[in-house]
Structure 1
Amino acid sequence: MQALTNVFKYHKIPLLFMMLSSLFYVSFAYDLVRTDMSKLVLLYVALFVFAFQIIKISGFRILAISAILFRLLFLFAIPNLSQDFYRFIWDGQMIMSGFNPYLTTPDFQMEMGILSGFPNQVELYKGMGALSASHYTNYPPLKQLCFVIGNLFPGSSILSSVIGMRLLIIAADIGILYFGKKLLERLKLPSNRIFWYILNPFIIIELTGNLHFEGIMIFFLVWSLYLLHAGKWKGAAVVLACSISVKLIPLMFLPLFFGWFRTSQVISSTVEKSKGSFDCIQGNIYEKINFRKLIKFYAITGVTTILLFLPFFSMEFVDNYSKTVGLWFGNFEFNASIYYLARAIGYAITGYNEIAIIGKILPLISVLIILGFSFFKRNNSLPKLITSMVLVFTFYLLLSTTVHPWYIATLVLLVVFTNYKFPLVWSIVVVLSYLAYSNTDNSENLWVIALEYAVVLSFFVWEVIIKKKTASRPAV
C-alpha cells in the first residue's frame, strides 16, 4: 500500500497524462467514425501533446508501462480507419482451408463458391471492398503466417481474429522496444529515444489500432541492425530476410549494405592488395571492400527470402504477384506529393492522367537515388547506414504515387537512431490525408495534401540541407 502511495505521490503528473491519454485512446478505438474529421483530428493532436509530456517527464519504467497499456486498450476494438484487416483474415482462412491465397482473387472465390466452409466469408468479402476483392493478394509469406496465427485465436468471429493479429503486433512492438533500447545503448545514445517510436500516437493507432503489420517488419529490421552492429552479420542477413518476407520495403535497403563491409586505414607509402577485396585509395585513406563477406551477406538474405516464399511458389504465383505489386506504381494514387505535381503538368500538356508513364519514371528515379547512396556514401558505420536508409526511404515516399499513412512507420523508427526529426513531424500531419474519407466519394482535397507536404518538406529542407550547411561553415 505504501509503495502504491509513493507511486502516486512522486508520479502525479505522468499518471495524469497517462489517464487522459487512456480516455482519449478508448474514445478513438471504440467511439470514432473515420468520417468525423473534427473529432479525429482533435483526439489525434491531443494524444501527441500528452505523449510529448509523458516522454519529457517520465522514467523508462513508466514509459514502457504506458506504451503497453495504451496498446492493450485497443484489444477488443474493430479497426476504424482501415478495412485492410478484412483481407488479412480472408487470406489467413484461405491458407487454413488448404488454398494458396496467391492464385485466385476473392471475387473468383466467391463466384465459384469454393470457400463456403469458412466463417464470416460474406461479411469479410463486403468489408474488404471491391478494389481488394478484385486483385490477387500482395502480402509476403511471413505476413501470411501472421494472418494464419491471428485466425487461430479462440473463437470464430471477426473480432477473435482481430484480437489474435493485434496481440502479434503488440508483441512485435515490445520486441522493438527491447532491441531498440539495446541498439541505442550500443550507439551511446539515450535509450529513452526509443519512445519517440513506441509512444508515438501515430504508431499506436496505425499499427496496433488499425492492424498494419509494418510493426512486425520493423521488429525484424531493428533486430537485424542490432545483430549487424554486434558483428553477427550472418544472423543479421537471416533476420533481414524475415523483414523482407513481411513487407518488401527492406529490399530497397539492400544496396546500401555495399559500404558496410568497407574498412579504412591511413596509409603512408605502399599498399598491398588483399585477396577477395576491392581496394580504393582516396588521398591517404586506403579502403577495402571485402567482397566475400558482401556476397555471402546478400546470398544468405536472398536464399532465406526464397525459402520463405517457396511453399507458395509456382509460375502462376510469380505472374500474379508481380502484376499486383506493379499495380501500386501504375494504377493507384493517394496522398502523393511529387507525383501529383507531375500529374498536373501531364494534364496541362496532354489533357490526360499520365500515371502509366509517370508511374514508370518515378520508380526509376528512386532506383538511381538508392544506387547513389549505395556507391557514393560511405555507409561503413551504423549511424551512417541508418541515415542513408532514412533519406533513401524519404525520397522513395516523396516519389511514390501512393503513400498511405502507415507507410511512414519505418521512418519514425529509423530516425530514433539519427539526429533528424522530420519524420516525427510527418507522423503528426499525416492525419490530414484522412480528410479524404470525409467526402462521400473519398476524394482528396489537394490543398490539404499540399499543406501536409509543405510542413514536412520545410522541416526536411531545414534539417537535411540548411542546418547541415550552417553547421559546416567555419566560425568567423
Structure 2
Amino acid sequence: MTLKFLKYHKFSILLLLAGIAFYLSFAYALERTDFIKLITLYTALFAVSFKLIQLEKQNFWILAIAAVIFRLIFIVALPNLSQDFYRFIWDGTLVSEGLNPYLEVPSQFRNIFPAGAAMQQKLIDGMGSLSAGNYTSYPPLNQLVFAAASWISGKTVLTSVVVMRSFIIAADLGTLYFGRKLILRLNLPAHRIFWYVLNPFIIIELTGNLHFEGVMLFFLVWSLYLLHRKRWIASAALLGISISVKLLPLLFLPPFLRYFKNPEQEIENINYSFFQKIDFKRLSGFYLIALVTAASTFLPFLSSEFFQNFFQSIGLWFQKFEFNASVFYVLRWIGFKLAGFNIITYAGIILPIITVIILIWLAFFRRNERFKILMSSMMFGVSVYLFLSTTIHPWYLATPLLLSVFGNYRYVIIWTLVVILSYSAYDNPQFDENLWLVTFEYLAVFAVLIWEILQKKQTTV
C-alpha cells in the first residue's frame, strides 16, 4: 500500500517537501526588509499550493494534512512581517489581570504593568510608537483570546505567541470543516475550500503573523452554514460572536434583507410587492440576536471613557492612516493637484458613505434570497469597502477570499498573490510605498475583476 501510494503521489510528495522547505525559510530565515527573498518565497509557495490542489483535488486528507503541516511549521516562530502581536500581548496581560485595556494608551500607562517594567518596555518597543500611542481597537472576544494566551503562557512573549497561534490554527481547521460542509450543500466541488485553507497568503498572514481574521471567519462560516440549514437563531448568535472578534461582519447585515422571504410567498404564486416578500419577523429577529450578542460582549468593558477611546481608535483608520489603497490614492493625487494638500480627512468621511450606499444597493437590487447570490453580494460588499478604504493591510483580504470560494469569481485569489507587493514599503527605512508596485497590484486585480464580470454577462445573454 505504501509503495502504491508513493507511486501515484510522488510528485505531490515532492511538492509537499518543497513547501515545507519554503515555509521553514519563510518562518525562520526571512526579514521583512528583504523584499526580493520575500516575494520569491511567496510566489514559489503559491505555485506549490495551487499545483498541489490541482493534483490532489479528489484527496481531501492529503490536502488537509498538508494544510496542518504547513501551519505547524510556524508554531514557535515569532511573526516576521507584523509587530501587532506585541499589542495583543499587552492587551491580553491587562485583561488577564482584570484591567480595562480600552482606558489607557501603552505609552502613557500610569499603573505598574502586571508583567513587570522590563516586559512593559519590551512590548512598547516591539509594538512601535504608532500602536503604543493610541487606544486599542480590538473588540472584546479578540481581547478574550489575548487574555487566555497571557494567562496560559505565564506572560512571556514566545509562549503567548504559541498559544495565540494555536487558537488561529484551530479556527482555520474549523473553517475547513464548516466551509467544506457548506460547499457540499451548495453542490460545489469540495476542493474549493483549499483555495482558502492552503493559500499561502492565509497561512502566512494568519498563522504566521497572528492576525485574528481567521477566528472571525470561523464563526462567520459556521453562521452561514447554519443559516443555509434554516437554523437562523443560532446563525445570528454566531454572527454576533464573529462581530465581537472583528467588527467587519457588520458590513454583511444589509445583504440579508432579501434572504428572509415571507413563507406565504414561497407557497403561493402571488405577485407580492418588494416589502411583502420579506419576512420582517425573522429578519428583525436575526438582526436583533446578532447585534445583542455582539453588544453584550462589550458590557464588561463599558465605562464613561470607553466609547470615546474605542471609536477614536477606529476613526484613525479612516481619517489618519493610509497604506496600499487604490481609489483613495487616485483621489489623493487629484486632491494634491487641485487643492494642494492631502484630502484624507474629507475622503475618510465621504468614502465610507459611498460604501454604505453601495451595500444598500446590493441589499435591494440583487437576488439575495438565493444563497449563492447572497454570498457573492457579501464578497462584492467587502471588496467595495476595501477598494474605497484608505488603509489596506494584506490580511484584510482573508474575508473576501473565503467568500470567493463559494462563487465563481477568482479576482480575490489574484489579489492575494499580488498584495505581497505592498511589503515593498518595508524595504527602506522611511517605509515609503512604491506606488508603481501598488499601481501594478490594483491594475491586475481590476483587470481580472472586469474580465470576470464581462464573462458572466456574456454567459447570461
The TM-score bracket by the shorter chain reads: over 0.9
Residues 312 and 47 of structure 1, relative CA distance in 2, 3 Å threshold: same
What RMSD, in angstroms, separates the aligned Cα atoms of the two structures? 1.5
Q: Aligned letter for 1:201?
A: P
How far the C-alpha of 1:6 sits from its partner, in A, is 3.6
Residues 161 and 77 of structure 1, relative CA distance in 2, 3 Å threshold: same
Aligned to 2:97: 97
1:165 corresponds to 2:164: yes
Match runs of 1:34-433 below 5 Å = 34-58=32-56, 59-109=59-109, 112-115=110-113, 117-118=115-116, 120-263=119-262, 264=265, 279-280=272-273, 288-433=277-422
Q: Aligned letter for 1:313?
A: L
Deviations 1:135-168 (A, max 9, x none): 0000000100111122233454211000000000
Aligned to 1:32: 30
- Give secondary structure in 2 for the equivalent of 1:414: helix
- Give secondary structure in 1 for the equivalent of 2:277: strand
- Give secondary structure in 1 for the equivalent of 2:391: coil
Take 1:450 and 1:334, find their aligned partners in 2: how far apart are those partners?
13
* Aligned 8 A contact 2:93 2:155 in 1: no
How far the C-alpha of 1:287 sits from its partner, in A, is 5.8
Take 1:247 and 1:116, find their aligned partners in 2: how far apart are those partners?
26
Take 1:78 and 1:5, find their aligned partners in 2: how far apart are those partners?
38
Which sections of structure 2, spanning at least 5 residues, go unmatched? none
How far the C-alpha of 1:266 sits from its partner, in A, is 8.9
TM-score (norm 1): 0.93
Q: Aligned letter for 2:316?
A: L
Residues 463 and 287 of structure 1, relative CA distance in 2, 3 Å threshold: farther
* Aligned 8 A contact 1:30 1:77 in 2: yes
Deviations 1:355-405 (A, max 9, x none): 111111111100100111111222112101100001111111010000000
* Aligned 8 A contact 1:152 1:164 in 2: no
Q: Aligned letter for 1:94?
A: L
* Aligned 8 A contact 2:96 2:151 in 1: no
The count of aligned residue pairs is 456
- Indicate the larger mover: 130-139 or 145-154: 145-154
Take 1:95 and 1:358, find their aligned partners in 2: how far apart are those partners?
35
Take 2:337 and 2:404, find their aligned partners in 1: how far apart are those partners?
38
- Give secondary structure in 1 for the equivalent of 2:245: coil
Residues 152 and 6 of structure 1, relative CA distance in 2, 3 Å threshold: farther
How far the C-alpha of 1:327 sits from its partner, in A, is 1.0
Aligned to 1:276: none
- Give secondary structure in 2 for the equivalent of 1:68: helix
How far the C-alpha of 1:350 sits from its partner, in A, is 1.3
* Aligned 8 A contact 1:255 1:374 in 2: yes
Take 1:150 and 1:4, find their aligned partners in 2: how far apart are those partners?
40
- Give secondary structure in 2 for the equivalent of 1:35: coil
Q: Which has the larger radius of gyration?
A: 1
Deviations 1:402-434 (A, max 9, x none): 000000001111000000000000000000000
- Give secondary structure in 2 for the equivalent of 1:27: helix
Q: Aligned letter for 1:470?
A: Q
* Aligned 8 A contact 1:106 1:133 in 2: yes
* Aligned 8 A contact 2:97 2:114 in 1: no
1:472 corresponds to 2:456: no
How far the C-alpha of 1:313 sits from its partner, in A, is 1.1
Take 1:265 and 1:302, find their aligned partners in 2: how far apart are those partners?
28
Take 2:429 and 2:26, find their aligned partners in 1: how far apart are those partners?
21
Percentage of identical aligned residues: 51
Q: Quick one: which of 426, 430, 437 aligns to 2:426? A: 437
- Indicate the larger mover: 300-309 or 174-183: 300-309
- Give secondary structure in 1 for the equivalent of 2:224: helix
TM-score (norm 2): 0.96
Q: Aligned letter for 1:467?
A: Q
Take 1:392 and 1:292, find their aligned partners in 2: how far apart are those partners?
25
Take 1:101 and 1:26, find their aligned partners in 2: how far apart are those partners?
35
How far the C-alpha of 1:5 sits from its partner, in A, is 3.5
* Aligned 8 A contact 1:153 1:163 in 2: no
Take 1:336 and 1:154, find their aligned partners in 2: how far apart are those partners?
37
* Aligned 8 A contact 2:328 2:390 in 1: yes
* Aligned 8 A contact 2:93 2:115 in 1: no
* Aligned 8 A contact 2:258 2:368 in 1: yes
How far the C-alpha of 1:8 sits from its partner, in A, is 2.2
Q: Aligned letter for 1:162?
A: V
* Aligned 8 A contact 1:265 1:287 in 2: no
* Aligned 8 A contact 1:212 1:406 in 2: yes
Which sections of structure 1, spanning at least 5 residues, go unmatched? 272-278
* Aligned 8 A contact 1:425 1:456 in 2: yes
How far the C-alpha of 1:262 sits from its partner, in A, is 1.9
